[in-house]
Amino acid sequence: SNAFGLSSNATYNPAQSSDYMRSGMRNWLIWYKKQMGWDGVRIDAVKHFPAYATEDFLWNLQNNAVWASGSNDMFAVGEYVGNMAELDNWCGAVQNRAGTFDFSLRFALQDIITQGGNYNLGSLPSAQQQNRLRTVPFVNNHDTYRPQVGANGNITGWNTGSQIGQQIEIVDPRASVAYAIALAVDGAPEIFFEDLFNIGYLGNRFNHDPKDTTELPTHSDVENLIWCHQNLHFKDGAYFVRWQAQDALVIERGAKALIAVNDHYSLWQNLTNVPTSFPAGTVLKDYSGANGNATVVVNGAGQVNISIPPCDGSAAEGRRGYSVWAPVGVTTNYVRPSESITQEWEMANDLGDSHASSLQQGGALPDNSTDCRVVGRVFPDSSSTLTVNIYPENPDASITLEVLNAQCEVIDTISAFGTLNYTHTTAYAGWHTLRIRNSSAVQPGQRCWVKANYTAPLSVNTAVAKLKCACTLTGVGMEALEEAMFEVYPNPFNDQLELTIIGHSNAVKAITVYQANGTQVYFRTVDGVSSLNVDTRSWAKGLYFIELETEKGRARTKVMKQ
């Protein structure tokens, strides 16, 4: 709330008042959520700005984004590097609108690795943060795992000076113990890329095909634990700690699974009468495969005997330090549900980009022209419903919507005054491009908002061409004008600057020059002038920005006084 006032280093210095930055961030986040259709946020380094501001932003994303509001169920996690109390306090300060990455638990998992079998596993549950409503347990992330790599991408060392704590290498004998715990405790676990995919020492970091499992193999233990987490439905069961000992820890997800870990390198842990929530007579098997085809039966007191392999990889399937016991007969049943996606694009000139290397999307509809604008592309499933709504700034000017297929062929067109509503049943799963234009060449341009709703496919074929289906653009903002509007000579300059307007002199309204700190040093209105000389003797040495205001937008370039 105290972030307002003119910037000391920005070229653009709008009038500002109290809460200027906070209000701007709030509005931008809502716009961004509508534009991209995302359903959750990870907030970086949250200790470095006030918790009340974070709570404000999250509340608005959850409740004040109109149709895009995520509700209180919206996923949100803040990165706060701190101890248990600090994590819990921050969650409380944002009214539990977000959880935190559980660094307290992570430091305990690190100790399992560094203490080489001497860590007391029974003490680990007390290392978790207490406020676990939205917690994210993890083993590694980009801050804790920073390898040095050779020319072939293989790990040669570690950037320990820039890491948070000690890295946990997935090839460590006890790394699977850490992952089993991270997936067993409360929360939405984070899986680190290099822990799941084997790119550390195979020479495949830089040149693998991500669709080829032989070129991008997985670490079997982590893959197995993910399967168990999904198909045994860990998080559908309540959290219980069933066994705590120096070398053994058993966590139950109520009547779903027993996740048991052992950090001893060479000795099995054979536990008797482990209490459970399973009914008497329930037959359990180890879905890690470490115990082969062995089964155990829950006794009349709800207890069961289980075995946990050591960390040396001698168990079946090469499992290290964990077993997962659940009722027999469970097969792969997890299906990621189809997701309904809604996105809204604001078609405005300051959001348009016609550069040939860009997506060539956006921009308001131009005056007196039927030049089209690419709204964006969507990837709906086959035989699903694509719904498009257009909300114009001027309801008296008709807008035409074009829907293009993956080959940039127009497959449907509709025009309407006011709000336009369109529904289409897709014939294939793949890219569909949305374009708009004025229905007549004799109507004023305008901004509008285009909203699309569609169902994404469960799996996506990425081996398809991504064509831009671009329009011939005019007047879409700064990027479209910059190269073609004017020339500056010399650059760098000394006492005089010559500015030549190229081919558009009648369209130029004004010329303004700013210092790099945003101070205006020159302004002139322009009436058909094609060139002018500017006396720059009084200007200080340094960087300047020249801005041309035109009927279609603004063009800007940089110059240097030496």
Distance CA 28, CA 13 (A): 18
Same domain, 173 and 310: yes
In a domain, 165, yes or no: yes
Same domain, 186 and 197: yes
Q: State how far the alpha carbon of 3 is from the alpha carbons of 17, 50, 367, in Å.
A: 9, 11, 38
Same domain, 363 and 449: yes
In a domain, 472, yes or no: no
Determine how β-strand 432-438 pairs with β-strand 399-404. Answer: antiparallel
With beta carbons less than 8 A apart as the criterion, state whether 352 and 365 touch. Answer: no
Same domain, 139 and 239: yes
Pick the closest to residue 76 from 24, 29, 35 (CA basis). Answer: 29
In a domain, 405, yes or no: yes
Distance CA 312, CA 310 (A): 6
Same domain, 83 and 157: no
Same domain, 319 and 186: yes
pLDDT by position in tens, the chain (length 562): 555 556 666 666 777 888 888 999 999 999 999 999 999 999 999 999 999 999 999 999 999 999 999 999 999 999 999 999 999 999 999 999 999 999 999 999 999 999 999 999 999 999 999 999 899 999 999 999 999 999 999 999 999 999 999 999 999 999 999 999 999 999 999 999 999 999 999 999 999 999 899 999 999 999 999 999 999 999 999 999 999 999 999 999 999 999 999 999 999 999 999 999 999 999 999 999 999 999 999 999 999 999 999 999 999 999 999 999 999 999 999 988 888 999 999 999 888 877 667 788 899 999 988 999 999 999 999 999 999 999 999 999 999 999 999 999 999 999 999 999 999 999 999 999 999 999 998 999 999 999 999 999 988 887 788 888 988 544 444 334 444 467 888 888 889 998 887 765 556 778 888 876 567 888 888 776 778 889 999 988 887 888 877 766 667 778 888 8
Same domain, 52 and 158: no
Same domain, 220 and 122: yes
In a domain, 470, yes or no: no
What residues make up the domain containing 306? 103-327
In a domain, 14, yes or no: no
In a domain, 334, yes or no: no
In a domain, 2, yes or no: no
526 phi/psi in degrees, rounded to 5: -125, 130
Same domain, 66 and 197: no
Report the domain count for the chain: 4
In a domain, 124, yes or no: yes
With beta carbons less than 8 A apart as the criterion, state whether 198 and 217 touch. Answer: yes
Residue finishing a domain among 327, 358, 375: 327
Same domain, 309 and 349: no
Pick the closest to residue 240 from 155, 125, 131 (CA basis). Answer: 125
Distance CA 242, CA 121 (A): 12
Q: Is the dihedral of CA 248, 250, 251, 256 positive or negative?
A: positive
Distance CA 65, CA 240 (A): 38
* CATH number for position 503: 2.60.40.1930
Look at residue 419 and give its three-state secondary structure. coil
